[in-house]
Structure 1
Amino acid sequence: MGEVLSIKSILGQEEPEHMNDSMSEVDDDSRPPEKCPHCGKALKYKKFAIGHFTFGSHLEKCDCSGAEAEREREMREKERLQQEEEARKRMKRIEELFRQSRLGLRFREKTFENYKIMPHNKKAFQTTLEYARNFAKYKEKGEGIFITGDYGTGKTHLAAAITNYLLGKYTPVIMGNVTKLLGNIKRTYDDSQYTETEILKELYTVDLLVIDDLGKEKPTAWVEEKLYTVINERYENYRPIVVTSNLELEEIEQRLENCGGAIVSRIIEMCMGVKIKGPDFRKQKLEKGRDV
């Protein structure tokens, strides 16, 4: 038996022929009992016994409600720490694979806290904040957001705010425009330490994929095919996406001639719509600068 061999290896002894290889617990009389901190019951120290060999002195568990509640808390804390460690490892892996397509420094600073709320964008702000705060609920349903609006209305800021919020909660997110996201795949054709399959797997399985400025990329057949593959894979497995675009869905369908209809159909089914109508923040900033 594996356990017996392991014990023999530790003890450096051979097993006697008459040894019973079934394991049991016996009292460890070399150590005085201790009181349960919850109910005061005297708890004995025990040892594991296999034949004549004993090992592993340990305090017996109390069956009182206080002791059971403490063990339950310890188990939940252990599970929480394990989940956090797994999340950190996943985050590290994603950053290694997508270091060129993750949030740049400018967008790492885009949060809900520093978003400029105005009458025309207040609803969009509230919708995206609620989505981030309740992402677990939306993730279960595979539901995302499609944010549309003119240039400079804050679409990317809101998408980056969702990303930053979730990253702060140890939720893996990949954000980038189509060109950058798919550029990692193209590099595998030349010289890369990762394969196309590995990179696609990350795009397929990451908790949230944020595609910024959809429709701005050059719509080649290869780009459309890969984009559809990624979106469809996530659609089939209830994995959400957040998409920003300055184009309406009809315009995206027309621009992506080969797979536009299928891509738009998936987006409609997967995402709630958020439309921002308002002035271009960048132009307003420039005009204010000229007035100074």
Structure 2
Amino acid sequence: RDLLRVIRSTYNPTVKAAEMDVLRPVMDADLLVLDDLGSEKTSEWVEETMNLIVNTRYNERRHTIFTSNYDDTPDDTDPDCLKARIGFRIHSRLHEMCDFLEFDGADFRHLPPNGGVDDLMTMWKMKPNRRTLPARTTAKPVRAQLKAPGGKADLGWTGGKAGS
């Protein structure tokens, strides 16, 4: 959300930075971590901007780690699933370029003061079924990373340029 906010601020005439001044380092970084994918309010502009970033990094084979608290379920009619939150195009691209890893555990932010590992284990064991929780409180992060060249999903296709 912070990245999108900075990019959006470049449209303000009083800001001297241009959109590409912000986007270029994001697209050129050797390693980029996009945290909490899908948490931003969805709009056509958000989807286009994220598509540009993801496609550019994919085409240039740059390492990118994505995290999300949204379930990657096959039910794309669920408004709380990852595909509904980030859009079909980005979701499809992530499945092409990434290995998905699921981490299941208690949210350490709900620990009591001075809580420890034992408290986390107790919280995790008593955790209700994720399907009964509202979207913003599901604790099922999806993490992904770029597949190695020659990996099972490497199609040997250089792809087009983002935005073309």
The C-alpha deviation readout for 1:206-260, integer Å capped at 9, x for no partner, is 111111111111011111110111101111110121111111234121124xxx1
Q: Aligned equivalents of 2:59 and 2:36: distance in 1?
A: 23
| Match in the other structure for 1:218 | 41
Using a 3 Å threshold, how does the CA distance of structure 1 residues 286 and 215 change in structure 2: closer, same or farther? farther
Matches of 2:30 and 2:64, distance apart in 1:
9
Q: Does 1:197 align with 2:24?
A: no
Matches within 5 A, 1:20-31: none
Native 8 Å contact 1:215 1:255 kept in 2: yes
Q: Is the 8 A contact 2:38 2:70 kept in 1?
A: yes
Separation in structure 2 between the aligned mates of residue 263 and residue 234 of structure 1, nearest angstrom: 12
Alignment partner of 1:281 is 2:116:
no
CA contact (8 A) 2:39 2:85 kept: no
Q: Name the one with the larger strand percent.
A: 1
Cα contact 2:32–2:63 (8 A) shared by 1 = yes
Match of 1:207 in 2: 30
Matches within 5 A, 1:8-23: none
Q: Secondary structure at the match of 1:278?
A: coil
Q: State the distance in 1 between where 2:105 and 2:114 align.
A: 16
> Match of 1:249, SS?
coil
TM-score between both structures, scaled by the size of structure 1: 0.35
Aligned partner of residue 112 in structure 2, secondary structure = helix
Aligned to 1:237: 60
Pick from 184, 191, 204 the counterpart of residue 6 of structure 2.
Answer: 184
CA distance in 2, matches of 1:230, 1:282: 30
Residue segments in structure 1 that go unaligned for 5+ positions in a row: 1-178
Q: Equivalent residue for 1:59?
A: none
Instruction: Quote the offset at 1:286 in angstroms.
Output: 4.8
What's the TM-score once normalised by structure 2's chain length?
Answer: 0.60
CA contact (8 A) 1:188 1:195 kept: yes
Of structures 1 and 2, the one with the larger relative CO (CA 8 A, separation 6+) is 2
Pair 240,288 (structure 1): closer, same or farther in 2 beyond 3 Å: closer
Asked if 1:272 corresponds to 2:99, the answer is yes
Q: Which has the higher helix share?
A: 1
Among all aligned residue pairs of Structure 1 and Structure 2, give the percentage whose two residues are the same amino acid.
39
Checking the alignment, whether the CA contact within 8 Å between 1:185 and 1:199 is kept in structure 2 is yes
Cα-Cα RMSD: 2.1
Deviation of the 1:275 alpha carbon: 1.1
**Considering only CA atoms, is the larger Rg found in Structure 1 or Structure 2?**
1
Question: Residue in 2 aligned with 1:163?
Answer: none
Q: Which amino acid in the other structure matches residue 182 of structure 1?
A: L
- Paired letter, 1:218: K
Alignment of 1:1-292 (within 5 A): 179-190=1-12, 191-250=14-73, 251-256=81-86, 260-286=87-113, 288=115
SS for the counterpart of 1:241 is strand
